[in-house]
Chain A
Amino acid sequence: MNNEHKHNEWMDMVEMYVLGGLDREEQERFEAYMKDNKECRLAVEELREVVGFLPLSVELIEPPQGMKNRILERVFAEDQQQLGQADTVANTTPVQATQATLSSTASAKPQQPARSTIPTATEAPAATPTPSRTETASVGRRSSARNKATIWQMTTAVAVAAAIFIGMYAGNLRGEIGNLQQQLAMTSDEVGSLQQKIVSASMPSQGLKVNEAVKLSPAAKDIVAQGLATIVIDAKGTHLLVQADNLPKLQGSQAFQVWLIKGNVKQSAGTFLTRDGTGAMYYTFQPDDYDTIAITLEPDEKGSQPRGQVILAANIADQG
């Protein structure tokens, strides 16, 4: 093979190969040659280290706030999902360990538990928080009817959030999380069922307090989606859980994104994962006086500012 090149010609390509300048076909041919030629292989190994220094020449910049938690949680959550599917015995140990470590080292964003269920949450609506704002507590100011609804929402949110925590800490409940989340549409019976599970699992649900729950309303007449945003403050920080269903079907690279808005400033709270129009997300944030939370339909998930149509929105300025 590779008759068309003599050894020296291949060796002349080593630098270009390690730098990444060969096209796919050239690269494959080079790698095939390298496999059988030790000299070529050694040259590659040495020069690869040189190229490995190039990234150090770039200006250091600060990663976005909360990136560590978002990434590690996603990584472990995917793994968790795979574990769940494979029904391994591994149960919660890895996750718990991670949580412990993350909590101790990472920034002030303790959303691990709920967040690690996000992949699962993709399948089921319930438990996704998103960030929003800080203080809350003003539920008492509402009318009684509103209070009733809010209390119901709070109960629901507590049940859901607690169910997630349980899932995280009690491996034997992991398989049930999906079911629990699917129940987010929630009948009162289901709420009761979740609460029973909360009680039965020796979980730190006591640290959880729902400080605010707002209903997300469709932003246009033809939208039938609905959602719920819940703000939870615990010992580890302020968290936002958002769940929605009946969302429009995504096409191509489209994605739903959640935004926290304060005046003209729009802060992305991340991509809202959906399945069959239902999804949820969880976000931990630094309290700020956000006045609105919105879910938009974006052309892709890359935008740092909203570009697409607002699907659901809620005013949260008067909630606290």
Chain B
Amino acid sequence: MEQFEQLLTCAICLDRYRNPKLLPCQHSFCMEPCMDGLVDYVRRQVKCPECRAEHRIPYQGVQGYPTNVTLQRFLELHIEITGELPDPTAGQIMERCGVCSEKAYCGMCGHCDKKICQDCKGAHMDILRREIARINNQVRRALHRLQDMLAMVDKNLILLQQNCGSVAEEVDEIDRRLAKALKDRTEHLRQELDRYLSTEVRNLTQLKENLELEISNITSNCDLADKHMTESVEWDDNELMDAKEIFLKTVEFIRNFETETGDYQRRVRFTMAHDPNQLVNHVAGFGDLNINHPHTTAPGLTGSASMGLLQTPGPGLMRSKSDHRLATQFRQQEERDEDPRGGRLSPLAGRKFGERPAPKPAATDRYEGRYGRGGESGYGGDYGDYDAEGGSRAGQVRSKYRSRFRRDAQDAAEPEPDTGRNVRFQEQQNRERERVLDTEDVSKGPLSGITRLYDVPRVMKRLQESELKEKNKGKEPPTPPQPAPQQQQPKKTVTQRQVSEEDEIAKIKRQNKSGASSSDVAAAVPEAREPAAPVRPAPDRVASLKKAEEERRRGSSHEGSSDNDSDDGSSVSSMQGQRKGSLRARLGGASPPLTVPPPAKPRSGSTDSASTSSSESSSPASSTARNTGAAFSTEEVKQKYLSRGSATPSTPPAAAPAASRTQQDTTPPRFQSRFLGGNRPQPDKAKDEEEDDDTESSSEEETDSDEEEDKTKKKEEVNRMDIGPLLARSANARDSATATRRDSRDDTGTRQSSTASYRSPLSSRDDSGGYRSQRASRDESTDAPSSAGSRYGSAASTTSTPSSYTSRFLNKSKSSANVDEDESSRAKTAAVPDESTRYPSGRSRYAALKERRSRLARSRSSHNMGGADDMDDAEDLSATTSPSAYLASRGYGSSQSGSELARSRSTHALKSRDNSPERGGERDGTALSSWARTRARSVHALKSREASPERDTADRADRAERDALSQANISAYRSRARQAALKSRETSPERGAEKDANSPALSSWARYLKNKYGPRKEGKDGAASSASSAAGSAASSAASRRLSLGLPLSRHNSASIDSSDDDQKNPVGSPTSPTAATAAAAAGFAAGATSPRSQYLQKRRQLFQIGSRGSEPGAFTWPRGIAVGPDNTFVIADSSNHRVQVFDSNGIFVKEFGSYGNGEGEFDCLAGVAVNRIGQFIIADRYNHRIQVMDPSGRFLRAFGSQGTADGRFNYPWGITTDALGFIYVCDKENHRVQVFQSDGTFVGKFGSSGRGPGQLEHPHYIAVSSTNRVIVSDSNNHRIQIFDVNGRVITSFGSEGSEEGQFKFPRGVAVDDQGYIFVGDSGNNRIQIFHPDGAFLRAFGCWGAGPAEFKGLEGVAVLSDGKILVCDRENHRVQVF
């Protein structure tokens, strides 16, 4: 038998002969592929493998050789004898395989849908199996997602409740806070108002009384003159002279007397830090519950639990690449379901079966044993589904066939397309049909619709069979993975569809099935999900399993789905809500704490007391430092007096070297240094005296204070006029300097005027002297106190030079170093509490200072007759107009050196002023000497240089700069100023504190000035101070939004001036006067105006987003251009919906206009939008190659342009913008240029041409114009941003291709804020980049993706005045707000 079989075996393929052909040498081989393979096509001959005989190939090819009929008969005989399965390939013709194009018996492959050979099919099956395995792995790996989700659902349920609770609390809390803040503020304001009113009334009454008195006096005088100034009465000449003088004075007085008769209607104004409407809006919409429904965007798990609906497969599955193929495969299999008889008939590769349509339940066949497919012909209908699994692996792989197609099965309950299935079910399994359907219903996952494979009868059968086979035939290894599948490949070459046949098949199948299922074997479950009951008829089991499953699933998944659902939505939404809420809260809460002034601080009180105590010359005081200082000041004066009077240096008890400027408060070194100072300055003093004389004379000429006042008024005016342009000049380093300069100019003005009107020259002189010394001391102390030093960093180092100078100077001038030490130490001691409370104490200090001031004013009156020279200085200052520069530096210095310095300065001034009247003159003299010396070094130089009394600001700036170069002190200040400016441009967060510190410092400085110049001018000083504080802060935050600040600032200034004017009216100065409030407000304002830079630096998180894909209102399809309209509305070009949508600043849809077309008001894929100043919409109607202008309500106004390259014609106009003058700038993308039009559409100019050079453009996309008229163009294909001036000249360009910071890939949207910061939508890198106005990189954020702060294809970018950034996220069809 063995040999018999061998005889029937082809020597080449070692298999049973298939179509044996006889060679002339009498050797036989299979025709295909064996004989085929032997052919030598070159020589057209065949070499017999056995005998090596060579034979010519017949004309028809190897087919032409005779068939070995004998052998064939033997083969048949053999089959008959052994009952071998027929060769399925019998009668088949070999075809070219669709894949390897080898000749073979081909069959349809479900995988590639081609007729392919077994090998390839096997490979494909392998692929399928591997894919299934892989997907299975994926499923496994992803399964935890579901589990996680389950856990999450539970957690989320709790979280949701918590979240809602907390949000509710939060809302309540905010409500409380807002209510409280509002109430507090209202009360506060009301109180202020009351207080102000009362003081004001008092003032006015007083003024009234005074005036009445004056009037009566004068009237009486007049009467007297009329009556008695005749010859009737005897007057001697002197009397007459006096009388004349009196009358002259009266005339002058009347002529010049002016009181603030100004606008009492609007004395008090109520200004709000924010636009009230906006505020109301803010409050009204102080928070939204942002409940997000993720389903709109992410169709993840649509949790409809109803059984009949299609369940979208989970994202995990969605993502698997092989998914589609799997799907197609399944479909193909379904379609094929009706004909898999072929497969069923030959489930094994057994070509030995003779006839295809003769399936035998050959359970004993050896092939069955070997290939495990013997008895399966019964369920061929499903064969196609599962043949891929190769028997042994069936278990693990089954997970998802059904799932995705459950709908097919169900929706198409009867209908046509699902032929295979339905046919099968109807015809083959009528009996089981219902149950099968049930099965499918029941065992599907409620969310995914995934069928539980174990419940599918066929699967069970398959498993059982494989088990059975394993048991019955231990001959073959159960699953030889490589060879077995090979052999198990079904041959499905037959694809006839014959219903009759099918019927028969169905019958057989049914029989088979019942038979098989009755022989129960436990399913070898790789995935032991449900231990199958081993002994139970399959249908039963299926049913029961199904039921159980169903119940279980239904329950859980119902829950799951709903939970999931609501949870997803609400959790996200709540999160957003929270975030939003908190943001709102933050925004809302930001202002109140700033504007609410902090409570008064005791410290200032103590200083006050100290100062007063010092006025009582060496009376015991609260602080030793103070004490010593005070004591010293008297001492000093004494010494000075001595030295001056006798010119004999009185040797102090403890003479120490000059280096004794130690930090100790001990008296001897103080004395010593003072003495050193006292000894030296003789020549200087002489000079001083000279000067004093000069000035004295001049002062005497100008004794008339009224004249002076006039002058100064004029000056003031000039100064004021300067302010505007100065303010307008924004954001450069000089800004701060100019601002302070302006402030100080104000100071000058007030000072001068005050000097003129109210002060005797002596006292002013006195003040300046005091000031001088203080200034020196300030220098010192800036150096000395670590706090100041550390705070100003490098500033301190620069001061060190001048400080040495100053110290020397000080020594000379006898405001000895020790005093300075005292001061500094005092400052230090003060600094501790002060530093910490500096900012909050602004107001309290202000109040305290005020108090002091009032006291001062009182005390000053007692010794107004100080040195006669003082006036000179004032006059010098005013005459030479240098003081502005000088004061600028001084003022700036004061602003820089901390508040304690200012305070110490003022106290020092106090001290010096507090000397007894007799000494006053002397003291003043000495002070003057110091002052004069300073002047000799600084102001003198200034004078000479500034002989021409120009008041041009530029000149002044220059001068100031020149001064800075020449004058050590001033240069120190200057440099400090510059550094501060630099620093402030950087605006590191710490700067903020410093900035805050500055304003009180300034105000105290101003207070000091006020002290000097009398109560009347207090207000102005205060105004100056508040202005300067505001300006100072503005300056220090040079980057702070200039324009937005500019207006409020000026408004603020005027307001504070007003109020402080009022303030000055009440000489007593109530502790909390409106001025204080304004000052505090100013401080608050200053603090509130955080620099945009830091703001931008923090940009990263999305505030909210608008829209999703769609065409309904509020949805987008490829949004492109974006612009900010009036009231911070968002205007968005919804490109592929051919419309413009408008949203309010909270992202709530307002309106839309436009539709598709080329008529008026119709768009075709519009790209850019812009809104001009009068609210008209300007739209780049891209595919219509025109620009349309709409009125603010969205009605068509006009259109201009058409396709072309001429002027005024476009080729795909893209970005569009408009400048302050209403000129329209259009990125004419395909013409690689920018065109400029008037607002009526008249062509104005163009610039740019295609290319890469400077000024050339390559597909410019978007454009923006800054407030400084810089035209910023995203030169997209050159990967850069170019900045032009309005005339089209290139100013600069930056960026190159890349993804580093500051590099671009196809930058698109550009925007510029009013500070000049530039925002670029870096489309290729999917990020937003922010640049300094000079193009230096500041920040970037964003990446590719669909989440918050992720982008897909950036388009337009816009920036709101509050710094929010709007971004059109094209492929995500949304607008994000940052």
Q: Tell me whether A and B are bound partners.
A: no
- Residue numbers of A with Cβ under 8 A of B are none
- Residue numbers of B with Cβ under 8 A of A are none
